[in-house]
């Protein structure tokens, strides 16, 4: 029995030494459903935390940890070295003045227009937004607005109401306090899984506001290069774990066409 206890203690020490030896990689994350829900919470939810857990199980050379940031602060935090990389980003989303390296992700998602269903209302409703009240997510960059996320501009030009959740924007439609919301497609599918009765009251556009060209954006002098990160993700894909996570969040693999 004593020998067993000694063996167990030695194993615990080895595990602790291995954890200490791993290179820490800080991953920035802001509230961006369904990719990340409330990063400051004790147990954040979403694709990003699950992906980081999978990467940590996959290998012991790096230890990925989540560092909360915000949609507006994320540029400054990467440049200042508060975190090393950020997942499911796009260099089109305001990163032009922030030094970074880009790794295209072979993962597809999009944003769709959503309105309240009404008699006689069809896809033509989304052809022109003049005079329509837009319900938007604060800090997001939208294709129809030329990726200009300035709140004053959105308010003046599109009568935009800006909130901090897709659920709030869908409620604005239901209460007739907004005419069109722009919702991440994967999130809308998860929402309708939770509230299937809501589908009959919503009209969803067949065209996209934008197709996400997801990337990993990395700090130029960070602990991982784009090539090293790509190798880790390829290993995760090879063992089937990446596809399992993507299916859970209604995401698919596509073409690596994202710009650096």
Q: What's the pLDDT tens digit per position in 13-23?
A: 445 444 468 99
Domain CATH code at residue 78: 3.40.190.10
pLDDT band at 253 (very low <50, low <70, confident <90, very high): confident
Does residue 189 sit in the same domain as residue 222? no
Q: What's the pLDDT tens digit per position in 73-128?
A: 999 999 999 999 999 999 989 999 999 999 999 898 999 999 999 999 999 999 99
Does residue 149 sit in the same domain as residue 161? yes
Does residue 204 sit in the same domain as residue 113? yes
pLDDT for 259 equals 38
Domain count, the chain: 2
Does residue 185 sit in the same domain as residue 239? no
- Give me the domain span that covers residue 73: 23-107+212-253
Does residue 222 sit in the same domain as residue 160? no
Does 220 map to a domain? yes
Does residue 113 sit in the same domain as residue 202? yes
Does 2 map to a domain? no
**Backbone region of residue 107 per phi and psi (left: phi > 0; alpha: psi in -120 to 50; beta: other values):** beta
Does residue 82 sit in the same domain as residue 116? no
Does 15 map to a domain? no
Does residue 173 sit in the same domain as residue 102? no
Pick the residue with more confidence: 259 or 252?
252
Does 8 map to a domain? no
pLDDT band at 57 (very low <50, low <70, confident <90, very high): very high
Does 138 map to a domain? yes
CA dist 258 and 212 (Å) reads 9
Does residue 128 sit in the same domain as residue 203? yes
Nearest to 216 by CA among 49, 56, 72, 29: 29
Does residue 40 sit in the same domain as residue 100? yes
Does 258 map to a domain? no
Does 45 map to a domain? yes
Query: In percent, how much of the chain has pLDDT > 70?
Result: 90
pLDDT for 255 equals 52
pLDDT for 11 equals 47
Does 7 map to a domain? no
What pTM, to 2 d.p., does this model score?
A: 0.82
Does residue 113 sit in the same domain as residue 191? yes
Does residue 85 sit in the same domain as residue 174? no
- Of 7-11, 108-112, 155-159, 164-168, the range with the lowest mean pLDDT is 7-11
pLDDT for 247 equals 94
CA dist 201 and 116 (Å) reads 6
Q: What's the pLDDT tens digit per position in 124-148?
A: 999 999 999 999 999 899 999 999 9
Mean pLDDT, residues 156-184 taken together: 95
């Amino acid at each position: 029995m004593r020998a067993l206890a000694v063996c167990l203690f030695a194993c615990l020490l080895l595990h602790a030494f291995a954890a200490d030896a791993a290179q820490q990689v800080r991953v920035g994350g802001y509230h961006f459903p369904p990719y990340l829900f409330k990063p400051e919470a004790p147990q954040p939810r979403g694709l990003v935390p699950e992906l980081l857990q999978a990467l940590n199980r996959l290998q012991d050379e790096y230890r990925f940890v989540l560092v909360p940031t915000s949609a507006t602060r994320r540029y400054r935090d990467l440049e200042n070295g508060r975190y090393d990389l950020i997942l499911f980003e796009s260099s089109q989303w305001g990163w032009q003045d922030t030094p970074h390296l880009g790794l295209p992700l072979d993962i597809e998602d999009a944003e769709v227009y959503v309105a309240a269903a009404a008699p006689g209302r069809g896809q033509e409703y989304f052809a022109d937004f003049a005079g329509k009240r837009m319900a938007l997510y604060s800090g997001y960059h939208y294709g129809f607005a030329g990726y200009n996320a300035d709140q004053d501009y959105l308010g003046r030009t599109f009568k935009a109401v800006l909130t901090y959740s897709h659920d709030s924007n869908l409620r604005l439609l239901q209460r007739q306090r907004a005419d069109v919301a722009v919702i991440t497609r994967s999130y809308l599918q998860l929402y309708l899984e939770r509230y299937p009765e809501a589908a009959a009251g919503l009209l969803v556009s067949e065209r996209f506001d934008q197709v996400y060209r997801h990337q990993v954006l990395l700090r130029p002098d960070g602990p991982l290069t784009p090539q090293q990160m790509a190798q880790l993700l390829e290993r995760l894909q090879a063992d089937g774990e990446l596809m399992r996570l993507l299916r859970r969040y209604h995401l698919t693999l596509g073409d690596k066409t994202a710009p650096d």
